[in-house]
Amino acid sequence: MATSCSGRRNIQGHPCFGGDHRKNGRIHLAVAPRCTIKCAYCTRKHDCVNESRPGVASRILTPQEALEKVREVVASETLGPIIKVVGIAGPGDPLANEETFETFRLVREEFPHLVKCLSTNGLLLPETVDRLGALGLGSLTITINAIDPAVGAKIYSHIFYQGKRYSGAEGASILIANQLEGLARAAELGIVVKINTVLIPGVNDGEIELISRRVKALGAAVMNVMPLIPQADMAHVSPPSPKYLEEVRSIGERVIGQFRNCRQCRADAVGLIGEEGAGARCAVPAAGG
């Protein structure tokens, strides 16, 4: 059941949840290197200071180093006044890293006014969402690329769950079930949830409306359909054109509000959306495994 607006936590100013992205900024803390799934479109093996894509971070921080980074940014005359959000978005999956929880604990103690935000693939969400709620998490982003396990099997080569490796439709089925269960539980706790979906032409185009309906029914507040960045095992796949991306977003918008200002940020992004490195991207070679 969807959570009413009155039950949601205050995330006022969050640039990815309706806040003015031209005035309100965020800081991403790269404290989470380990991941639980292998996405066909993901590579974390390359880094350029001018590129903006998920999974990129120049250096992994310890929780204490992350706290020092927040202190530095908040004290800055230029960045301090605009920072509204402290987020953890990788470069792996935050929920697979105990450092995530320690970092949020430290930040909450010293900067309780900052919105705490997390991005996850959702595999471990059912077993960790209560901890996130207790830490004061205000907003949560879950990347859900499929509802049909057969489609998911084309996107996720394997997952690691409870000490075992699962591949194909079996692995995708576990992942999707946990994503939806975790979403429902987060919404019940009053955490404001955004759904990210990577649009992969010829693979999950037909899933967008179904994803929209399922996540809306479970309590998601907004959806963000992002274009594929061709790399890794999907380096040969052409990304959606801007026109096609907008057409697909419009389909989803019939059901749930769409966020259109995403710039597929780095795991160590700081400042306003789209202003890191003037939005430039470097060429990313394909990575195996």
pLDDT band at 179 (very low <50, low <70, confident <90, very high): very high
269: pLDDT strictly greater than 80: no
H or E element that contains 39: strand 37-39
Query: For residue 35, which of 121, 99, 102, 118 has the smallest C-alpha distance?
Result: 121
Average confidence score pLDDT of the chain: 83
Q: Mean pLDDT lowest for which of 15-29, 34-48, 135-149, 252-266?
A: 15-29
Return phi, psi of residue 188, to 5°: -60, -30
Fold for 20-272, please state it.
TIM Barrel (3.20.20)
List strands edge to edge, sheet with 37-39: 37-39, 156-161, 164-167
Residue 23 pLDDT: 57
Q: Which of 68, 28, 83, 63 is nearest to 268 (CA)?
A: 28
Listed range (103-112, 239-248, 273-282) with the worst mean pLDDT: 273-282
The Cα 100–Cα 118 span in angstroms is 9
d(CA 226, CA 258): 11
User: How sure is the predictor about 26, in pLDDT bands with cuts at 50, 70 and 90?
Assistant: confident
Segment 32-64, tens digit of pLDDT:
999 999 998 887 654 544 444 555 566 899 999
CA-CA distance, 88 to 94, in Å (whole number)? 7
**C-alpha–C-alpha distance, residues 29 and 156, integer Å:** 25
Q: How far apart are CA 119 and CA 186, in angstroms?
A: 13
Per-domain boundaries in the chain: 20-272
Cα 61 to chain centroid, rounded:
18
